[in-house]
Amino acid sequence: MARAGGVVALIAGVLAVMAAVVTLLVGGCGAAFEAEGSETVISLGWGGLFAAFACIVLGAISAATRKRWPGVLLVFCALLGAIFGGTLVAVVMVLALVGGFMVALSRHAVPEDQQ
């Protein structure tokens, strides 16, 4: 179950990168037409891109190891991405959140004190 959660988080990270690029594209078009609030949209796009890359890295680590800490960090990163990434990234980060919970709550994951 931990490996499946890592794969789910990896897929969510790739989809979140695409969502963040779309957010950056919309913010860039808004800045080109001098729309109000376009700087905020661009900032949300960069925040979503950072969170998406972190989900990709943590998803790969989760798929390769049997520890719980990547799952906990993945849940934290998915929440930050949902807050700071904009609407499109937040929708995809729900999938990363599910993957993080799958890793963190897996029966086969080894707690830190029993390594």
Q: What is the pLDDT of residues 26-67, one digit of tens each?
A: 999 999 999 999 999 999 999 999 999 999 999 999 988 888
**Domain limits, the chain:** 2-114
- The predicted structure's pLDDT at residue 115: 56
Reply yes or no on whether the pLDDT at 114 is more than 80: no
pLDDT score of 1: 83
Judge whether residue 99 has pLDDT over 90: yes
Least confident of 1-5, 79-83, 102-106, 110-114: 110-114
Evaluate whether 23 touches 88 at the Cβ level (below 8 Å).
yes
The dihedral through the CA atoms of 51, 52, 53, 55 has a sign that is positive
How many C-beta atoms lie closer than 10 Å to residue 113's C-beta? 5
One DSSP character per residue, 82-111 reads: HHHS-HHHHHHHHHHHHHHHHHHT-TTPBP
Amino acid at 35: A
What's the whole-number average pLDDT of the chain? 91
